[in-house]
Amino acid sequence: MRRRDAYYLRLVATGCSFIVFGAVGLLLGLIVLPLLRLLPGDPAAQRERVRRTLGATLRWFANLARALGVLTYDIRGLERLGRPGQLVLANHPTLLDAVFLLGFAPSSSCVVKQALWSNPFTRWPVAAAGYVSNAPTDVMIQQAADALRAGQSVIIFPEGTRTVPGQPLHFHRGAAAIAIRAARVVTPVYIRCVPPALRKHDPWYRIPDRRMHFTLEAGEDIDPQPLRALAPPLASRELNARLLQVFTARLT
């Protein structure tokens, strides 16, 4: 395909965006977030300040990338996210999915990769925000369920990692197990990126021939309550199969 949309300028802008992201993450972790934790308030209030600061920063980053011509985006229905006890499930096609979700649902907790806890750019922000590590699985399920029972909203990518290009969706059962244990409501979020970019195994510099366009759309709520009449393992399998069917039908 013919390269367009100022391809080489977008390549430079993409590199600059990632440099800015790392620098801002380090600044937040070393200076801003420790200062926020010195402000008065109980642990819940401190955690909320941290999350909203991270959310504002991620929205700023998304808008910076848009201003630089790296991408465009369309957000639909994300104002419904962040409700007490709400489990938000999203597919995970690109590296930037969490940036959009946490930027536009800033009060939510999130299940994040264990690797973020050892990365110097991200470990302080994720710890200060009270996010949940995805490993080990049993601890992840318990901590996410506890957060839902406490009235928080929790975001999770049931694939566990970015979607493998060319492969069908595969959901791990942990997200469904969390929903059966504690969610008041489950809300799917469908994420698309056209043309595909920043996928699993894609280096940052392999940008598409035209500007990326992200669409994030909150779907209809799913009530997990009827499945709680079943034994938990069976209920988790049933809900996981239903979620996979819903996402596959919507994204195909």
pLDDT, mean of residues 29-53: 89
pTM, two decimal places: 0.93
DSSP string, 23-81: HHHHHIIIIIHHHHTTSSS-HHHHHHHHHHHHHHHHHHHHHHHHHTTSEEEEEESGGG-
Within-domain flag for 199:
yes
Q: Domain of 52: which CATH number?
A: 3.40.1130
Note whether residue 1 is domain-resident: no
Q: What's the chain's average pLDDT?
A: 93
3-class SS of residue 104: helix
Question: Considering the chain, what percentage of its residues have pLDDT values greater than 70?
Answer: 99
- What pLDDT does 37 receive? 80
Q: How confident is the model at residue 2, as a pLDDT? A: 65
Report the pLDDT value the prediction gives residue 122, as an integer from 0 to 100.
77
The pair of structure tokens assigned to 48 is 């909320």
User: Is 155 contained in some domain?
Assistant: yes
Does 2 reside within a domain? no
Domain count, the chain: 1
At 53-101, the pLDDT tens digits run 999 999 999 999 999 999 999 999 999 999 999 999 999 999 999 999 9
pLDDT reported for residue 4: 77
- Show the domain range for 65: 7-251
pLDDT of residue 118: 80
Can you give the pLDDT at residue 78? 93
Alpha-carbon distance of 127 to 40, in angstroms, equals 19
pLDDT tens-digit readout, 166-204? 899 999 999 999 999 999 999 999 999 999 999 999 999
Q: State the Cα–Cα distance between residues 129 and 44, nearest whole angstrom.
A: 10
Q: Is residue 98 part of a domain?
A: yes
